[in-house]
Amino acid sequence: MARTRYGTDRGLSARMVGTLFGIGLLYVILAAVLLAIGVNAIWVLGISAAMLVGQWWFSDSMAMSAMRAVVVTPEQAPQLHAVIDRICAMANMEKPRVGIADSDVPNAFATGRSAKRSVIVVTTGLLKRLDPEELEGVLAHELSHVAHRDVTVMTIASFTAILAGFMMRSAMWGSFSRNRDQNAALVFLAITVVSVVVYFVSYILMRALSRYRELGADRGAALLTGKPSALARALQKISGDMASIPTRDLRQMEPVSSFAFAPAVSAGKGINLGQLMSTHPTLEKRLEQLARISAELGER
């Protein structure tokens, strides 16, 4: 992929490499433990790897289906395409597919296994709430995810916890089917402990990367458009409107909330554990960063 004008985010790149390395190391340890207790780890890992490839390959279709989004042409959504065309021209990057989801939740997300297979989806709720400058800021944020390829890394990382659960369940039942004596209890205990550790560490690594990538995308969008205040206004509008969105609409957004511009449900204020588990940094932290960039750019 050609280098875009979003530039290189070395902090994000380092964190993506570190996250993937950490998760890979977890699975090496997991395989070693499974082999040590007599489980056919190769078979379990093979099935899990196949599931992961399937998740990665069909990530765009799965996200579109979850949101009931449809790809729209320039003739169907001329204003939306015009904004994305302008951002792609500024960023010197390939234009992704564009989709719209019929949902009152004001949000947007980008997904896809590669730049050529990426898609940016916006909800009808977002389109009716934001002015052109604010919409440009949100879309520039999503295109930053595509440019930095963190969408692909998050697609892989988001599935690791599910894989851990599947691998351990498969190993557990396989062990019990062959080993019904008193050793079964010890095997069950060992599998449970390893399962919890792998799941928890994968979860924390993924959440930490997710929060950093959101700040990176805010930063990239603000510097590319030169209008951090517009992105800040969009954040405030979306966060403020979330409280008035029906629960059923928020529930529809949950399958892709970790990829969305703003979380469907905000984490509680002042709860460190909630922030640790959150996929997004706090609104205050995002606004503080945008305010600093605005001051650096001398924006009025």
Each residue's pLDDT expressed in tens, for the chain with a length of 300 residues: 446 667 667 787 787 777 777 777 776 776 677 666 666 656 666 766 676 677 667 777 777 888 888 999 999 999 999 999 999 999 999 999 999 999 899 999 988 777 777 899 999 999 999 999 999 999 999 999 988 888 777 766 666 666 666 666 665 665 545 555 556 667 667 777 777 777 788 778 888 888 989 999 999 999 999 999 999 999 999 988 887 787 777 777 877 877 788 876 544 444 455 566 788 899 999 999 999 999 999 887
The residue from 134, 136, 142, 214 that is catalytic is: 142
The answer to whether 277 and 263 have CB atoms below 8 angstroms apart is: no
| Radius of gyration of the CA atoms of the chain, in A | 21
Alpha carbons 66 and 50: distance in angstroms, whole number: 21
Q: Exposed, middle or buried, 271 (CB in 10 Å: 0-12/13-18/19+)?
A: exposed
Q: Is the pTM of this model over 0.85?
A: no
Is 94 an active-site residue? no
Looking at residue 163, its pLDDT comes to 63
